[in-house]
Structure formats: structure tokens, C-alpha cells
Amino acid sequence: MYNFAAGPAVLPAEVIKQVQQELTSYQKSGMSILEISHRSSLFTDLQAAAENDLRRLMRIPTDYDVLFLQGGATLQFTMTALNLAKKSGKIAFVDTGHWSQRAIQEAKLLPKVVPEIIASGKENHFTAIPKVPKITADYDYVHLTVNNTIEGTMYHQLPAALNNQTIVADMSSIILGYDYQVTDFDLIYAGAQKNIGPAGLTVVILKHALLSGIPTLPAMLSYPKQVKKHSALNTPPVFAIYTAGLVFKWLLKQGGVSAMQQQNEIKAQLLYNEIANSSLYRSPVAVADRSLTNIPFVTGSDQLDAEFVADAQAAGLMNLKGHRLVGGMRASLYNAMPLAGVKRLVEFMQQFEMNHGG
Ligand code: PLP
């Protein structure tokens, strides 16, 4: 069976197996990972190793801090604005669809924060990444949703107009799947439950220099306080960090992020080619902006789409129903989806098309 869910999503089978094997006794301690103290060296060593491995994978420079927080990417919509809209209070947003809009809505709720949309894909129903105009106003930062999980678009390159801007990026659905340069960004955040590990962990990578001038905030919402306490102001999500650490080791064994990107390009191309060559399926997304990790497609008939999803599930191809905002189908091809899973999906698509007069 293959799981094409957008999140919580597929994890490497080897990692799940290792979790199972170690579950009753972590490193021969006689205690389960679910039971160990977050103040013990068992945990602090594990967290340090996870951070080091993530630094290696993403080539994170030493002048960036790495945080393992909770609250999901959604809390980062608030936390980024609360901490970083600290001078003019103005934040520039590129509106690329649902998750950018959620980030804008949350920023709007904060006093003294003024979100402004500098570019929007609304006119073409978010099927392409909009052109970003030259920035003239004095924004505290520009917010981008790097991969749009629902609409199936991504930035393959950062807009030239954003050179020299402070950039905050939501990378939830593509972190570790595409070899972005960390140094192109000032802050990166991602909910773990797609390409990193179980839900309950949120990774934040931020340039240390950003910490100066941040107002005093409640501890859990303050980047400076979280950095100072190494993400352990309160009890951290030990199991989620442990599992993420295993995924990082698995990724290093696979050859790291550039190897994952290559593999993800092969997988995505296989599916996009099938869509292009078929007379039944269609991708609504502009070719230049197509996501490697979330691929929506439609038949043009709601009834046929529903039949496709049901038949696919019966054939062991799970969670292919498109997001309710877009309809149709969506295949999420994260790092842990093997090429064999995409080949199975393509075979199924061909069979389904033949059965329906293709
Ligand atoms: N941002 C993006 C791009 C997402 O895909 C999601 C969830 O799917 C979120 C934010 C919200 O993440 P969370 O559930 O971790 O708050």
C-alpha cells in the first residue's frame, strides 16, 4: 500500500521499523523513548545529534539558530509577526494561496502589525506563482510560502526583487525535499508532519542577528527566550524529535538533500508526464511553477474524480483525494515515497483511463 497523503504523511519504512524495535527500551536504558526525561543526557544528546544532522543536511551556517518548537507551522504565522515586525510593523506577503492567506489572517490579529499583500496569484486561481514587483516600502520582512501544499505550486527560484530583503519562509511541505540555500532566507519554519517526522514538532531556523531588538514577549512565543533555553523552556516533544532525528540519519544515508531533490524530480516528472500524455487527466498548474511534492490533477468530472479516488484506494493507493478547496486528486510525493509507489500510481492511472474509454 502506498500513502499519498499531504500530511501527516508517509515516513521512511526503515524509520518506522527502528522506532518499533527500540520502543520498549531506548539505547538499552530499560526505558521507552516515551518515558525518558527531557533533562537527561539521553535526550539532550539525542536533540544535539538531531540538530547537527539537520545542520549537515541543510548546510545551516553557524550564525543561524535551530529551534525545535511546538504549535505547528500555524503558530509560526503568529510568532514570526510577533517577534520580527519590530520596526515599521509592516510585513509584505506574497499571496500564493490558502496557507499564505492563513499567515496573513493571523498577522492581522496582532496590534501594531500591518500585513500588506505585494503580489497575489488570486487572478489565476493560484495556479502560478505571481511576479513580485520591486520593493520600495520599508517592510520588516517579506513572507513567502515556498511550496503551496494545496495548490501544487512552488518557488524553483527566489524572485530577484527580493534580493536584500529579510525573507521569512514557510517550507512546511518541501523542507529537505528541494535543495534551497538557507543563506537566501533569514528565517525558515516547517511543521514536521510531512517531510520530517510526526506532528507535534515545528522546526525553525533563524539568523542569529534577527534576535536583536525583539520586544519582551511571553516565553513560549519569544525566539530569544527559546534560543537561550535550547528549545526546552518547557517539556519538548521528545518522541517527535527522536523520530525526526532518525529521519535525518536516513536522509544522510540516502545522500542528503541534493540526492532527495534528484529523486523527487524523477518521481514528479513521471507523474507530470503521465498527466501530459493522457487525454483524461489535466494539471491546472503552470508548468514553470509546478511543485515537486504536491501534485494536483483532475479529470474534469467530479463524479469520475470520486470514482478514481475510491478505485485507487481499493487498489492500495491511499489518500489521493484532492483538498476540498481545489477538488480532484492530489498526490503528495514526499521524500519517503519510493519511486515504486509513483510507478504503481501511473500504472493505475493508465488502467483507469483505459477502463473509461481512453
Ligand atoms: N503551511 C503549509 C504550507 C502547510 O502545508 C500546512 C499544513 O498542511 C501548514 C502551514 C499548517 O501546518 P500545521 O498543521 O503544522 O500548523
Q: What's the gap between Cα 172 and its chain centre?
A: 2
Are 293 and 174 within 8 A, CB to CB?
yes
Residue 357, pLDDT score:
74
- Give me the percent of the chain exceeding a pLDDT of 70: 100
Q: What's the gap between Cα 73 and its chain centre?
A: 9
Q: Is 234 annotated as a binding residue?
A: yes
- Decide whether any atom of ligand 1 lies within 6 Å of the 7 Cβ: yes
Q: Is the pLDDT of residue 78 over 90?
A: yes
* Ligand 1 centroid from CA 118, angstroms: 22
pLDDT in tens, 14-37: 999 999 999 999 999 999 999 999
Residue 182, pLDDT score:
98
pLDDT in tens, 239-294: 999 999 999 999 999 999 999 999 999 999 999 999 999 999 999 999 999 999 99
* Ligand 1 centroid from CA 130, angstroms: 21
Q: Is 250 annotated as a binding residue?
A: no
The full set of domains in the chain, from first to last, is: 13-254 (3.40.640.10), 256-355 (3.90.1150.10)
Q: Is 170 annotated as a binding residue?
A: yes
CA distance 70 to 54: 17
CA distance 95 to 78: 16
State mean pLDDT over 59-84. 98
- Decide whether any atom of ligand 1 lies within 6 Å of the 198 Cβ: no
Q: Residue 32: phi, psi to the nearest 5? A: -70, 155
Are 33 and 22 within 8 A, CB to CB?
yes
Q: Is 102 annotated as a binding residue?
A: no
State mean pLDDT over 176-186. 98
pLDDT in tens, 120-175: 999 999 999 999 999 999 999 999 999 999 999 999 999 999 999 999 999 999 99
Ligand 1, atom 12, lies closest to the CA of 73
Provide the grid cell at 18: 527502528
Q: Is the pLDDT of residue 92 over 80?
A: yes
Residue 308, pLDDT score:
98
- Decide whether any atom of ligand 1 lies within 6 Å of the 243 Cβ: no
Q: What's the gap between Cα 74 and its chain centre?
A: 12
SS3 category, 238: helix
pLDDT in tens, 297-353: 999 999 999 999 999 999 999 999 999 988 999 999 999 999 999 999 999 999 999
Are 294 and 173 within 8 A, CB to CB?
yes
Residue 302: count of CB within 10 angstroms of its CB: 11
CA distance 31 to 42: 10
DSSP string covering 57-123, please? Answer: HHT--TTEEEEEESSHHHHHHHHHHHHH--SS-EEEEEE-SHHHHHHHHHHHTSTT-EEEEEEE-GG
* Ligand 1 centroid from CA 104, angstroms: 14
* Ligand 1 centroid from CA 87, angstroms: 27
Across the chain, what does the average pLDDT equal?
A: 97
* Ligand 1 centroid from CA 27, angstroms: 33
CA distance 20 to 203: 24
pLDDT in tens, 191-203: 999 999 999 999 9
Residue 170: count of CB within 10 angstroms of its CB: 29
Nearest atom, ligand 1, residue 193 CA = 15
Q: Which residues, including other chains, have CB under 8 Å from residue 102's CB and lie 6 or more apart?
A: 74, 77
pLDDT in tens, 40-54: 999 999 999 999 999
Residue 4, pLDDT score:
98
pLDDT in tens, 107-121: 999 999 999 999 999
Which active-site residues does the annotation give?
Answer: 99, 170, 194
Q: Is 39 annotated as a binding residue?
A: yes
Mutate to test the pocket of ligand 1, among 99, 174, 325 (most ligand atoms within 8 A of CB): 99
- Decide whether any atom of ligand 1 lies within 6 Å of the 101 Cβ: no
